[in-house]
């Protein structure tokens, strides 16, 4: 792993610590500011994270070279590891954008949200979560969730209140709403994946390609395997006859486009460029 | 001559003790160095050797059974966990708890901390809080300060000064800060605002088209494309305008997720006043609230009507 940075003038590591087999990261105000701002946002897309990193360098350490994001985050995580917290990278299920969030690695139950929400609110979330996991599309309709309002633990909640609570979940980035239906926000997936896999081992769906939790995705109509939309896009990239990786039947769905950060940047410059790129892709 | 067994054991014991003390010392040294003005760096040490200690194990098993432990068997190696004392584990849980509260910007009571985290270790509250506070400073640059000594309320304050850019980004949902401002301008201009009006306001806030902001990226793309795509805003050409001019309206998602009243409250907060300080907008916001309430009740009534119709149908089936 290499010697710990004990020779850096800014940190004195006594000799007995050098016997650690784990590399110790070094935390500076650059990293602390980064973490504070990342926490404030809850979850951030990769481009915003890079800008955030540059901003933190600018504030605290103008002359230092901005470390590669991956190394920067690994450094932070090596320090936070002992707190069972990490900056985790995920991918949005609908359009494959890389996102980052500060997550708690402990798979304690949903009750870790307990201090933020009332008992009946937590139970509403739990019910919504179950409906989402059981659904075929990964979405649970507002009506179906609200119909369970009578079964909630704790203080009786009316449907009107429940609507507000669901909005609170959306605002706090636990749920996403699309046309009256709810699914899990990428932040919730990042934070709760392990909890969900352990609590609902029978109903949970997994992606055949990346082997992580799947809420939204496409499925093979013959053998039933599922894939995330971005995983489908990557797997079938420039393949004119997409076939199921498991049973080899024709893949019945439209292949989505891969999220390409380069394309996003060019789109900002001129819309005509974007059109020509798209026609080139397929 | 190679060292004897006893000498090695004694040295190991001494190292272990010293390490226990320097856990806190590390933090003190680091903050001291920081105070001197040099860019500080500090390492977060809770345990360093992979060796496991059977003595701590039994204690740990007891706490694991009836209370949460901060880590999982999958996330961390068991050797790490057996090195941490129960108080260390509680301190870690408390850090996780406090971090959530930082995001919600709420004060934290001793009562809550005892109820949700400390539980049966309440006699060690001060020690656990002290260790957790140290970790918060070292890892996140956040201070845990007691603001009410009678009711034991605490707040979390960043030790790092907010820069102008960061303050602009708003509170919990920064994009919301910019979005709320735009929605506000649209509302104030009679629910439809010319693009020039929007930029006038944003420029005052230091946000300019074409100039990348550390948080928002390029602002023009954000408001004319990203927020439009997410259905928060509508961006359209002013009809019959030549050369083409553009205007903004609220998008369907903005109408669903917020309200004129909420936007007015946002404006009032900025000006340190209340919504009724803007009488005409306040009236309009009130009318909007009434309309929403009526729509909600109508929807509920429809659901109830359908539900009771079903019951009537099924009951008539059994009692013809």
The half-sphere exposure of B137 on its side-chain side, counting CA atoms within 13 A, is 19
Scan residues 202-261 of B and list those with Cβ closer than 8 Å to A: 212, 214-215, 217-218, 221, 225, 256-257
Q: How confident is the model at residue A109 (pLDDT cuts 50, 70, 90)?
A: low
Top pLDDT among A69 and B46 is at: A69
pLDDT at residue B161 above 70?
yes
Task: Mark yes or no for CB contact A14/B22 under 8 Å.
Answer: yes
Residue of A nearest to B296 (CA): A160
Across B259-270, average pLDDT: 83
Q: Is the pLDDT of residue A237 over 50?
A: yes
**CATH topology agreement for domains B86-158 and B173-319:** yes
B300 touches chain A (CB under 8 A): yes
Q: Does B103 touch chain A (CB under 8 A)?
A: yes
pLDDT at B307: 76
- Do the Cβ atoms of A27 and B138 come within 8 Å? yes
Task: Tell me what pLDDT residue B46 has.
Answer: 42
Contact of B167 with chain A, judged by CB distance below 8 Å, is answered with no
Burial of residue B150, with CB atoms counted within 10 A of its CB: 0-12 exposed, 13-18 middle, 19 or more buried: exposed
**Percentage of chain B exceeding pLDDT 70:** 66
Secondary-structure class of domain B86-158 per CATH? mainly alpha
Residue A7 clears pLDDT 50, i.e. is over it: no
Q: What is the per-residue pLDDT for A267?
A: 54
CA atoms within 13 A on the CB side of B219: 23
Model pLDDT for residues B165-184, shown as the tens digit of each residue:
676 554 434 455 688 889 99
Residue of B nearest to A24 (CA): B43
Kindly list the domain boundaries of chain B, sorted by start residue.
86-158, 173-319
Domains delineated in chain A: 29-83 (3.90.1150.220), 111-201 (1.10.10.10), 204-262 (3.30.40.10)
Tell me the CATH number for domain B173-319.
1.10.10.1210
Q: How high is the pLDDT of residue B18?
A: 52
For residues A97-113, give the mean pLDDT: 76
- Partners of A90 in beta bridges: A99
Residue in B29, B44, B72 nearest the CB of A79: B44
pLDDT of residue B194: 95
CA-based nearest residue in chain B for residue A6: B43
Q: How many CB pairs under 8 A join A and B?
A: 170
More confident of the two residues A265 and A80: A80
Is the pLDDT at B28 greater than 80? The verdict is: no
Query: In angstroms, rounded to a whole number, what is the distance separating the alpha carbons of residues B75 and B66?
Result: 20
Please name the helix (run of DSSP H) or strand (run of DSSP E) that holds residue B54, with its range, or none. Answer: helix B54-66
Residue of B17, B111, B140 to mutate, interface with A, max A Cβ within 10 Å: B140
Residue A113, φ and ψ in degrees, nearest 5? -85, -5
Read off the pLDDT of residues A202-212 as tens digits, 9 standing for 90 and up. 999 999 999 99
Chain B residues with beta carbon closer than 8 angstroms to that of A64:
none
Q: pLDDT confidence of A78, banded at 50, 70, 90?
A: very high
Secondary structure (DSSP) of chain A: ----GGGSTT----GGGGG-SSPPP-EEHHHHHHHHHHHHHSEEEHHHHHHHHHHHHHHH-TTSPPPPHHHHHHHHHHHHGGGTEEEEEEE-TTT--EEEEEEE-----GGGGTTTS-HHHHHHHHHHHHHHHHSSSS-EEHHHHHTTGGG-SSS---HHHHHHHHHHHHHTTSEEEETTEEEE-HHHHHHHHHHHHHH-TTT-EEBTTT-SEESS-EE-TTT--EE-HHHHHHHTTT-SS-B-TTT-PBP-SPPPPPP-HHHHHHHHH-HHHHHHHHHHH-
Q: What is the pLDDT of residue A95?
A: 83
The CA distance from A79 to B171, in Å, is 27
Best mutation target among A39, A82, A141, A145 (most B Cβ atoms within 10 Å) is A82
**CA A278 to CA A266: how far, in whole Å?**
12
From the candidates B25, B26, B43, which should be mutated to test the interface with A, based on the most A CB atoms within 10 A? Answer: B43
For residue B12, the model assigns a pLDDT of 64
Res. B302 pLDDT band, cuts 50 70 90: confident
Residue B76, H or E segment: none
Rounded mean pLDDT of B189-216?
86
Whole-angstrom distance, CA of residue A95 vs CA of residue A234:
12
Asked if A84 has any chain B CB less than 8 Å from its own CB, the reply is: yes
pLDDT of residue B43: 44
pLDDT at B49 over 50: no
Cα B314 versus chain centre, distance: 48
* A267 contacts in chain B (CB < 8 Å): 225
- pLDDT, position B258: 83
pLDDT computed for residue B32 by the predictor: 39
Pairwise pLDDT comparison (B83 vs A190), residue with the higher score = A190
Answer with the residue of higher pLDDT: A140 or A261: A140
* Chain A nearest CA to B160, separation (Å): 7
Q: Of A170, A150, A172, which Cα lies nearest the Cα of A159?
A: A150
- Closest-CA distance, B279 to chain A, in angstroms, reads 27
Cβ within 8 Å, pair B68-A171? no
Please indicate whether, in this complex, the C-beta atoms of B75 and A114 are within 8 angstroms of each other: no
**CA B245 – CA B237 distance, rounded (Å):** 6
Average pLDDT, chain A: 81
Distance CA A114, CA B97 (A): 10
What is the tens place of the pLDDT at every residue in B109-156? 999 899 888 888 889 999 999 999 999 999 999 999 998 888 899 989
Q: CB-based contact (8 Å) between A275 and chain B? A: no
Least confident interval from A192-206, B131-145, B291-305:
B291-305
Output the pLDDT for position A16: 37
Range with top average pLDDT, A14-18, A57-61, B59-63, B104-108? A57-61
Question: Do the Cβ atoms of A51 and B214 come within 8 Å?
Answer: yes
Greatest alpha-carbon pair distance for chain B in Å reads: 104
Q: Determine contact, residues B258/A168, Cβ cutoff 8 Å.
A: no
CA dist B66 → B59, B60, B61, B120 (Å): 12, 11, 9, 10
pLDDT for residue B16 is more than 80: no
pLDDT at B259: 86
What ipTM did this prediction achieve?
Answer: 0.75
What pLDDT does A173 receive? 84
- Residue A219 confidence (pLDDT): 93
Residue B91: C-alpha distances to residues A103, A141, B105, B133, B231 (Å)? 17, 40, 20, 8, 43
Percent residues over pLDDT 90 in chain A = 45
Q: Which of A86-90, A174-178, B1-5, B84-88 has the lowest mean pLDDT?
A: B1-5
How far off is chain B from A203, nearest CA to CA, in Å? 21
Provide the greatest CA pair distance for chain A. Answer: 63
B160 in contact with A, Cβ within 8 Å: yes
Question: Quick check: A222 and A247 in contact, CB under 8 A?
Answer: yes
Residue of B nearest to A76 (CA): B139
């Amino acid at each position: 792993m290499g010697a710990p940075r004990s020779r850096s003038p800014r940190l004195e590591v006594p000799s007995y610590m050098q016997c650690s087999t784990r590399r110790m990261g070094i935390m500076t105000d650059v990293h602390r500011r980064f973490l504070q701002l990342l926490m404030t946002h809850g979850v951030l897309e990769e481009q915003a994270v890079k800008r955030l990193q540059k901003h933190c360098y600018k504030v605290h350490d103008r002359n230092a070279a901005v470390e590669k994001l991956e190394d920067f985050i690994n450094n932070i995580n090596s320090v936070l590891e002992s707190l069972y917290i990490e900056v985790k990278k995920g991918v949005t299920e609908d359009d494959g954008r890389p996102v980052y969030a500060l997550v708690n690695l402990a798979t304690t139950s949903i009750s870790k949200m307990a201090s933020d929400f009332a008992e009946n609110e937590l139970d509403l979330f739990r019910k919504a979560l179950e409906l989402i996991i059981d659904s075929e599309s990964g979405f649970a309709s507002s009506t179906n969730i609200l119909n369970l309002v009578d079964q909630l633990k704790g203080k009786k909640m009316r449907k009107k209140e429940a609507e507000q609570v669901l909005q609170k979940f959306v605002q706090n980035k636990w749920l996403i709403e699309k046309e009256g239906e709810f699914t899990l926000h990428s932040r919730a997936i990042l934070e709760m994946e392990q909890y969900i896999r352990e609590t609902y081992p029978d109903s949970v769906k997994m992606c055949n390609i990346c082997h992580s939790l799947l809420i939204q995705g496409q499925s093979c109509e013959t053998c039933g395997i599922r894939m995330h939309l971005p995983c489908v896009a990557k797997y079938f990239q420039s393949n004119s006859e997409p076939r199921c990786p498991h049973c080899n039947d024709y893949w019945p769905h439209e292949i989505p486009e891969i999220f390409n950060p380069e394309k996003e940047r060019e789109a900002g410059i001129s819309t005509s460029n974007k059109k020509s790129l798209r026609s080139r892709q397929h | 001559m190679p060292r004897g067994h006893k000498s090695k054991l004694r040295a190991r014991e001494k190292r272990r003790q010293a390490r226990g003390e320097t856990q806190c010392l590390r933090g003190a040294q680091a903050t001291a160095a920081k105070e001197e003005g040099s860019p500080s760096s500090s390492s977060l040490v809770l345990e360093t050797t992979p060796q496991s200690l059977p003595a701590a194990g039994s204690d740990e098993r007891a706490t694991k059974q009836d209370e949460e432990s901060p880590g999982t068997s999958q996330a961390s190696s068991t050797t790490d966990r057996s090195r941490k004392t129960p108080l260390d584990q509680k301190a870690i849980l408390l850090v996780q708890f406090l971090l959530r509260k930082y995001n919600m910007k709420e004060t934290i009571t001793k009562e809550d901390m005892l109820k949700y985290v400390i539980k049966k270790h309440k006699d060690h509250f001060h020690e656990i809080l002290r260790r957790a506070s140290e970790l918060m400073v070292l890892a996140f640059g956040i201070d845990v300060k007691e603001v009410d000594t009678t009711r034991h309320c605490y707040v979390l304050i960043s030790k790092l000064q907010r820069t102008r850019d960061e303050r602009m980004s708003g509170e919990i949902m920064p994009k919301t800060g910019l979005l709320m401002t735009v929605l506000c301008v649209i509302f104030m201009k009679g629910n439809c605002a010319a693009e020039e009006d929007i930029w006038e306001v944003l420029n005052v806030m230091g946000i300019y088209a074409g100039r990348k902001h550390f948080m928002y990226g390029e602002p023009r793309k954000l408001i004319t494309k990203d927020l439009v795509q997410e259905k928060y805003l509508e961006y359209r050409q002013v009809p019959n305008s030549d050369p083409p001019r553009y205007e903004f309206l609220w998008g369907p998602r903005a109408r669903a997720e917020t309200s004129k009243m909420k936007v007015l409250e946002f404006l009032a907060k900025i000006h340190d006043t209340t919504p009724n300080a803007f009488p005409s907008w306040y009236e309009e916001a009130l009318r909007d609230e009434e309309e929403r309430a009526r729509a909600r009740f109508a929807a509920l009534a429809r659901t109830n009507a359908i539900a009771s119709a079903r019951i009537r149908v099924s009951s008539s089936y059994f009692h013809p």
